[in-house]
């Protein structure tokens, strides 16, 4: 291909899949414990609060399932997160290119290389929402396999049971709160990610310091992931309850009301420390690996380095 060409779709899909698989395997214990903490009110009834709930959940897993129990549901997570991250970055790349082309036409500036904050939010939110909806069955399967409320002998029995219990609809339980959680999360994250990267580079240049690109993406990834996770946590709780206990949590509004009535405002933030920690590390790892693959691919070919997703 000619110089300056953008990486092809296969590169974006492959880079997204690699980053999704790596982060999924490394961070699965955080996801599993978060699901166990969120699945019921048992810990609250037992008088546990804060870190005690998390410690209690970890001890329970270790006592009943051993260390490997912390990685229960990894296969289901890989089935969800590898293609999910791959599709997200694929949509992100193409949506960003379309928005950038539109901004160039509207502003009459063909050299424009960065998106406005509003466009960044739109790009991030729409890409994540679309990928999340397509992979919704994998999300339901993943949560079921992580929970101690269900005992499946494998992936196939889990799929059969979910199908018997709810048919096609059973694989899309919690789709609304998932979309409400993921779209704002991704939009906020992408805006913060780009803003923090630009700020880091500006501060480094002002001091005459040359920061490695990996350092820039990791710091921006952690900061963006932590901030966006806090803002969208209530929807994560509602999503988990609806997927695990659909007979009790039947709709988004009813689930919000039930959790607030029975557990107060604090109920929406159960597992927040685990989700924030996981999301911060995952966001940093995923974007760093993704951009590293794009840079490596471009460096190893006759093309110029690809334009950054977050310049």
Q: What is the 3-state secondary structure (H, E, C) of the chain?
A: CCCCCCCCHHHHHHHHHHHHHHHHHHHHHHHHHHHHHHCCCHHHHCCCCCHHHHHHHHHHHHHHHCHHHHHCCHHHHHHHHHHHHHHHHHHHHHHHHHHHHHHHHHHCCCCCCCCCHHHHHHHHHHHHHHHHHHCHHHHHHHHHHHCCCCCCCCHHHHHHHHHHHHHHHHCCCCHHHHHHHHHHHHHHHHHHHHHHHHHHHHHHHHCCCCCCHHHHHHHHHHHHHHHHHHHHHHHHHHHHHHHHCCCCCCCHHHHHHHHHHHHCHHHHHCCHHHHHHHHHHHHHHHHHHHHHHHHHHHHCCCCCCCCCCCC
| The predicted structure's pLDDT at residue 7 | 57
In this prediction the pTM is 0.66
| The predicted structure's pLDDT at residue 305 | 41
| The predicted structure's pLDDT at residue 49 | 57
Tell me which residues of the chain have a pLDDT lower than 50: 1-5, 45, 302-311
């Amino acid at each position: 291909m000619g110089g300056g060409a953008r990486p092809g779709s296969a590169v974006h899909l492959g880079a997204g899949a690699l980053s999704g698989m790596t982060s999924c395997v490394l961070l699965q214990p955080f996801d599993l414990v978060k699901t166990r903490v969120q699945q019921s009110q048992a810990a609250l009834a037992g008088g546990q609060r804060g870190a005690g709930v998390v410690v209690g959940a970890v001890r329970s897993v270790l006592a009943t399932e051993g260390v490997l129990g912390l990685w229960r549901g990894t296969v289901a997570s890989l089935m969800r997160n590898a293609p999910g991250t791959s599709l997200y970055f694929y949509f992100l790349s193409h949506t960003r290119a379309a928005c950038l082309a539109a901004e160039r036409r509207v502003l009459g500036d063909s050299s424009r290389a960065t998106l406005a904050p509003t466009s960044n939010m739109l790009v991030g939110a729409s890409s994540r929402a679309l990928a999340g909806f397509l992979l919704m069955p994998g999300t339901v399967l993943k949560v079921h396999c992580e929970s101690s409320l269900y005992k499946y002998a494998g992936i196939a029995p889990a799929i059969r049971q979910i199908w018997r219990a709810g048919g096609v609809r059973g694989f899309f339980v919690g789709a609304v709160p998932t979309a409400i959680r993921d779209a704002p999360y991704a939009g906020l994250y992408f805006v913060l990610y780009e803003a923090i990267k630009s700020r880091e580079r500006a501060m480094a240049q002002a001091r005459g310091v040359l920061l490695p690109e990996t350092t820039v993406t990791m710091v921006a990834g952690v900061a963006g992931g932590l901030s966006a996770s806090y803002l969208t946590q209530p929807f994560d709780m509602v999503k988990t309850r609806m997927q695990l206990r659909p007979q009790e949590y039947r709709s988004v509004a009813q689930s919000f009301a039930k959790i607030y009535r029975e557990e107060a405002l604090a109920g929406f933030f159960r597992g927040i420390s685990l989700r924030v920690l996981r999301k911060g590390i995952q966001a940093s790892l995923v974007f760093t690996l993704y951009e590293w693959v794009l840079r490596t691919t471009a460096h190893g070919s006759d093309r110029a380095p690809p334009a950054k997703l977050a310049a």
